[in-house]
Amino acid sequence: MVLVFAESPRGQFKKSAFEAVTYGKKLADALGVSCVALTLGPLHDAGLLGEYGASRVLNNNNTAFEHFDSQVYAKAIADAATQLGAKVVILSHTSTGKALAGRLAVRLKAGLISGANQLPQIESGSLLVEKSVFSGKALAQYKLNGAVNIISLMGNAVKPEMTGSKLEPETIQLTVTPGKIKIKELKTQEGTVPLPEAEIVVSAGRGMKDPANWGIVEELAATLGATTACSRPVADSHWRPHHEHVGQTGIAIRPNLYIAIGISGAIQHLAGVNNSKVIVVINKDPEAPFFKAADYGVVGDLFEVVPKLNEAIKKYKAAN
């Protein structure tokens, strides 16, 4: 059986949960077993996971799960995996998944590959899992040799697919131990899709010259429904907030479309964005290294090109 832990921060699923269930269902089909989804904490609509292919949806709504504590969660998920005899456990490679995966691997004495970017190959019953390493500069394939194995799935690696139908969630009894972490406050950026989940990212660098010039970037992002990002020097000089910093020392992202404006494309920047599906680079210097990593390039002055691109997209959106 494949057990998928579907995260529901503050009672809501995010796209990563649907991706994880879709992935779990496909893997379960390939192995000829069933796919069961597990949710922890009070939830709006757990049965929704049936639509993404889970054949059962299990929930334990103990209030201990209202806030994330990896120690508390890992015990509960490991308990569920043991009760159900899961052979594979799927997690999302999110802040939650990263804090859980290692704990679960130790608890379940399981093999672990974190950050898988596609479905495993199955070779005489063993799972061969590929992930990106060296900050996107190479891929590594591992064979999982555990009696139980855990895979955490990179965001945007699979598309959520609705192949099933809504289910009635079942309650599962689980070990719950009090945790040692107390959450004091949660500061969220309202209104925008967080960078790690964004499908389109519009990012700008030092070529913008001044923080007062960011209006054109924000307008383009708004037209596209994109999230904004920036290069490190831009965040370091407080032109933009730190959470926008992408790259090796910032956040690594893999959107479907990454538009880089006035960013030179230093290797440390590329390390965080080179897993994007499509990269568009706008830079006035034809020698900028970013063009080597780009799918589409525009050599020109960003102050002219970006407003024009914005108009063109508006025109396209109005027509479609």
Partner 1 sequence: MKLLVCISQTPDTTAKISFNADSTEFNSAGVQFIMNPYDEWYALVRACELKESLGGQVTVLHIGPAANETTIRKALAIGADDAVRIDADPKSAAFVAFQIAEYARKENFDIIFLGKETIDYNGSEVGAMLAEFLDMPYVSYASKLDVQGNIATLDREIEGGIESLEVELPCVVSAAKGMAEQRIPNMRGIMTARTKPLQELPAAPFEALEQLNRFTLPPAKAGVKLIDPENMDELVRLLHEEAKVL
Ligand X SMILES: Cc1cc2nc3c(=O)[nH]c(=O)nc-3n(C[C@H](O)[C@H](O)[C@H](O)COP(=O)(O)OP(=O)(O)OC[C@H]3O[C@@H](n4cnc5c(N)ncnc54)[C@H](O)[C@@H]3O)c2cc1C
Distance CA 318, CA 83 (A): 53
What is the DSSP-derived secondary structure letter of residue 226? Answer: P
Q: Which position among 15, 98, 143, 206 is part of the footprint of ligand X (CB under 6 A)? A: 206
- Residue 283 touches which member of partner 1, ligand X, none, C-beta under 5-8 Å by kind: ligand X
Q: With the C-alpha atoms ordered 215, 216, 220, 226, is the resulting torsion angle positive or negative? A: negative
- Residue range at the interface with partner 1 (CB under 8 A); choices 22-30, 39-47, 211-219, 290-298: 290-298
> Which member of 119, 226, 288, 293 binds ligand X (CB under 6 A)?
288
Which CA distances in Å does 86 have to 38, 59, 89, 124, 309?
Answer: 12, 16, 7, 19, 50
Q: Which of 11, 143, 167, 303 binds partner 1 (CB under 8 A)?
A: 143
- Does position 91 interact with partner 1 (CB under 8 A)? The reply is no
Confirm or reject binding of residue 252 to partner 1 (CB under 8 A). Answer: yes
106 near partner 1 (CB under 8 A): yes
Stretch of 32-40, 71-79, 167-175, 243-251 contacting ligand X, by CB under 6 A: 243-251
The minimum distance between CB 120 and partner 1, in angstroms, equals 11
CB of 52 within 8 A of CB of 75? no
User: Residue 135, SS3?
Assistant: coil
Beta-carbon contacts of 237 under 8 Å, excluding residues fewer than 6 positions away, are: none
DSSP 246: B
According to CB under 8 A, which residues from 51 to 90 bind partner 1? 68-71, 74
Contact flag: residue 237 with ligand X (CB under 6 A): no
Beta carbon nearer to partner 1, 31 or 299? 299
Contact between 22 and ligand X (CB under 6 A)?
no
From 45, 49, 89, 40, select the one nearest 67 (Cα to Cα). Answer: 40
Q: Which is nearer to partner 1, 56 or 74 (CB)?
A: 74
* 14 is a contact residue toward partner 1 (CB under 8 A): yes
Question: What six digits make up the tokens of 170?
Answer: 């079942």
Cα-based torsion angle of the residue sequence 293, 260, 289, 305 in order, rounded to the nearest 10 degrees? 120
> Could you list the residues that contact ligand X (CB under 6 A)?
205-207, 231-234, 247-250, 262-264, 266, 268-269, 272, 283-285, 288, 301-303
